[in-house]
Amino acid sequence: MRIKAKPWMLLAALALLVGGCASFHPLPLSAAAPPPADLKVDAAKMPTWPLAAHRFDPRDGLDATETAMLAVANNPDLRVLRDQLGIARAQAFAAGLLPDPQLSAAQDFVTGHSGGPGATNPFGIGISWDVGQLLTRSARTRAAGWSRRQIDLQLLWAEWQTVARARVLFDEVTGGRRLVARLRRETAALQPFQRRVEQALDAHALSFEVASTGLNAEAEAQRQLVDAGVALNQSEHDLRRLLGLSPSAPLTLVGAADAPRPDARQVAAALADLPRRRPDLLALQAGYAAQNDKLREAILAQYPAIGVGFNRARDNSAVYTSGVSISLTLPLFNRNRGNIAIARATRRQLHDDYAARLMATRNDVDRLRADLQRTLAAAPAAEAQAQRLDQALRRARTAWQAGQLEWPIYLSIRGSALAADLQRLALRRQAAGAGIALQTLLGGRWSATARQRMQADVPPLESAGGSP
């Protein structure tokens, strides 16, 4: 029995096919400034456990930990990286899809009297499917899964670096504000003294050589104040951008900056376990595993590609035929050798990239640890020197006001006390910066969320080893 298709049946089938297709929706760009940031943070999404355990409350200002939390939640660059993670997930989804079958149809028409009596218009219809895609599907989906994990770990590493950058900028801003306040006090103290020097110079009571000492002291303090103000303005704008805040947003920072100081035993223990904890190294391992599967896919693709189809036809004498077609690619010349060579070379590059990153990390850790030790060793002497000069300055101020001390000596003591204070502040900032950088390179404990992200639904790294 032959079933004749009705027009409405064809329309219904077409409607079903079209209904399952994706549709386009525009997403216009906007030149307007983004709305003010909503200072809300989900602690459960923080990349490290100290941030996840901290209560975010910006009403009394941002401390160092809250600054890092807001940076992770609101940084514009991290939003772009999270979009890239969405692309990687879409690519992993696409890699697992099977190819669609191909439908072919042909209709011929008998013209003139060439067909003879009883001739009909011949037609042919067939459907075929690329079976060869099944051979490489497993390797292709595994490679896509590893690539997705690589992007996820790269995002985690970027969040980790953002935390470090937020802590460094917090220290720069708070330390810069202390420096500006100290220089303002110094210029305020030198301004009355400078006026007295100018009056004495106008009255010819001082020579230019002697007066230049007093005039240069106030000018040097003003220069340092301007330089410190410019650096502070840069740091504040950098911090606002990192936090996703507008340039005019208030920036109220409270509390002390982080100053991690790992000892030699902690550094050695962290280095030994580093390849199993640091996100960028794990991302490189995932990328290497993905390339291993891409190499497997390239090797499997060298075998003959097979296509299977079913055909139905009618000739011009109304004879119907049915049959099966098989297409086979003969691996005589290409054999996918070019793609295999590219995949092998890429895997070698990733192998060497990982070794280079490990070596650079160990070198950077050793350098930062030495810098931190030297800075911490110099800090007590600088602190004691600053305190001694502060005491000497108080005594010199009393003696100068009583007329018992020459003003060039008084200015020299003031200059030495200021230099000691600036050195003390600089050493504190150097120690904090080196400690934060060292902590970032060495890694830390993960929150539950981060561990779940690192244990994604892909096989462990050990299963990706070996050469196909």
pLDDT at position 226 is 95
Domain coordinates of the chain in residue numbers? 42-109+118-464
Q: How far is CA 307 from CA 129, 312, 334, 393, in A?
A: 6, 17, 18, 92
- Cβ atoms of 75 and 174 within 8 Å: the answer is no
Q: Could you tell me which of 157, 137, 146 has the C-alpha nearest to residue 88? A: 146
Instruction: Indicate the SS3 state at residue 137.
Output: helix
User: Which CATH fold topology does 42-109+118-464 show?
Assistant: Outer membrane efflux proteins (OEP) (1.20.1600)
At which residue do the structure tokens 């391992």 appear? 285
| pLDDT the model gives residue 190 | 82
Percent of the residues in the chain that have a pLDDT greater than 90, as a whole number: 31
Q: What's the pLDDT at 236?
A: 95
CB 69, CB 51: distance < 8 Å: yes
* Cβ count near 392 (within 10 Å): 15
Joined together, the tokens standing for residue 404 give: 């018992």
Question: Can you count the helices (H) and strands (E) in the chain?
Answer: 11, 4
Residues 296 and 112: their CA atoms lie apart, in Å, by: 57
Determine which helix (DSSP H) or strand (DSSP E) holds 395, and give its type and residue range: helix 337-401
- For range 118-142, the mean pLDDT: 81
Q: How would residue 83 be classed by pLDDT, with cut points 50, 70 and 90?
A: confident
Per-residue pLDDT for 451 more than 50? Answer: no
Sheet holding 320-328, edge to edge: 102-107, 123-130, 306-314, 320-328
Instruction: Decide which of 271 and 460 is more confident.
Output: 271
pTM, to two decimals: 0.77
Tell me the average pLDDT of the chain. 81
Q: Which residues of 425-461 are buried (b: 16+ CB within 10 A; e: fewer)?
A: bebbbbbbbbbbbbbbbbbbebbebbeebbeeebeeb
Residue 136 has a pLDDT of: 81
**CA–CA dist 106, 122 (Å, integer):** 9
Q: What pLDDT score was predicted for residue 40?
A: 79
Residue type, 285: Q
pLDDT tens for residues 193-242? 776 666 666 665 555 556 666 667 788 888 999 999 999 999 999 999 99
Task: Return the DSSP state at 464.
Answer: G
Contact 89, 275 (CB under 8 A): no
Alpha helices in 249-331 (DSSP H): 264-272, 279-300
Element (H, E) at 198: helix 132-202
Beta bridge partner(s), residue 327:
307
Q: Which of the residue ranges 4-8, 50-54, 279-283, 435-439 would you say has the lowest mean pLDDT? A: 4-8
Q: What are phi and psi of 91, to 5 degrees?
A: -70, -40
Alpha-carbon gap, residue 225 to 214, rounded angstroms: 17
pLDDT value of position 358:
92
Among 21-25, 133-137, 421-425, the minimum mean pLDDT is found in 21-25
pLDDT digits (tens, 9 = 90+) for 157-192: 999 999 999 999 999 999 999 999 999 999 888 877
Q: How far apart are CA 378 and CA 371, in angstroms?
A: 11
